[in-house]
Amino acid sequence: MVHNSASERMLRAIIFDLDGVLLESTEAKTLAFRKLFADYPQRLSEIIAYHESHGGVSRFEKFRHIYAQILREPLSAERFAWLCTRYSELALSTVLNVPLVPGAAEFLREFHRHMLLFVVSGTPTGELQDILDRRGLMPYVQKAFGSPGSKPEIVAMILSEWSLACSDVLLVGDSDTDLDAAEQNGIPFIGRVHPGSPDSWRERSDLTTIKDLAELRARVDISTVSRKSVR
């Protein structure tokens, strides 16, 4: 899909994760978890380790796991609602001010005219769309999808709804959750590597990685990009 030969299918769409791929917001989300569970200092390192190793997993799933498997406490509906609201408050104010990943704005501005660009994130859909809109990125995105749907399910839906073959699409992410979504749907994957990315990625010779989206731009051959279908 990247630097294709003429005999291969043309790249028609790219699916991006949000945190750590378009926005340098990974650490902001981690800080929100630290503040949220500050009352559990003896379990905080385990909570943060779980959060960081499950990038792309929705906060709802993380809260349920933390209470069931780490804190070993019941999670009431009231407490769950408070966690969701408070996390949004803590994370949103920071995410709206973090830098874009280098090359992200330029890539989206250039390529949205030629192909379909999607964002798929563990962030709730409404909040995700609000972030993209307030960061000025929504005009370049065909559509943005977040939780409660799982990433593999959302990617499968995109392939179906936009009549995309697996070889038409590239997924760019920074977590094993993103990689799993690509592999389960049989589509190519490029990993954006930063300090929070899985350590195992650095040891995989079969995995294509980039340091930022400026490097992604250098890898994508514009001659393999087809004009997008208008829906």
Q: Where are the domains of the chain?
A: 13-24+100-224, 26-95
The dihedral of CA 73, 79, 81, 82: what is its sign? negative
pLDDT grade, residue 13 (50/70/90)?
A: very high
Q: Would you state the pLDDT for residue 67?
A: 94
Residue for token digits 């917001």? 25
Using one digit for the tens of pLDDT, what is the confidence trace for 29-87? Answer: 888 889 999 999 999 999 998 888 887 788 888 899 999 999 999 999 999 999 989 98
In angstroms, the CA 169 to CA 182 distance is: 9
Which class for 41: exposed (0-12), middle (13-18), buried (19 or more C-beta within 10 A)? exposed
Distance CA 184, CA 73 (A): 33
The whole model's pTM is what? 0.84
Q: pLDDT tens digits for 176-197?
A: 999 999 999 999 999 999 877 8
**Coil/strand/helix, residue 46:** helix
Reported CATH class of domain 13-24+100-224: alpha beta
Structure tokens at 25: 């917001």
Which tens digit of pLDDT belongs to each residue from 100-158?
Answer: 999 999 999 999 999 999 999 988 999 999 999 999 999 999 999 998 889 999 999 99
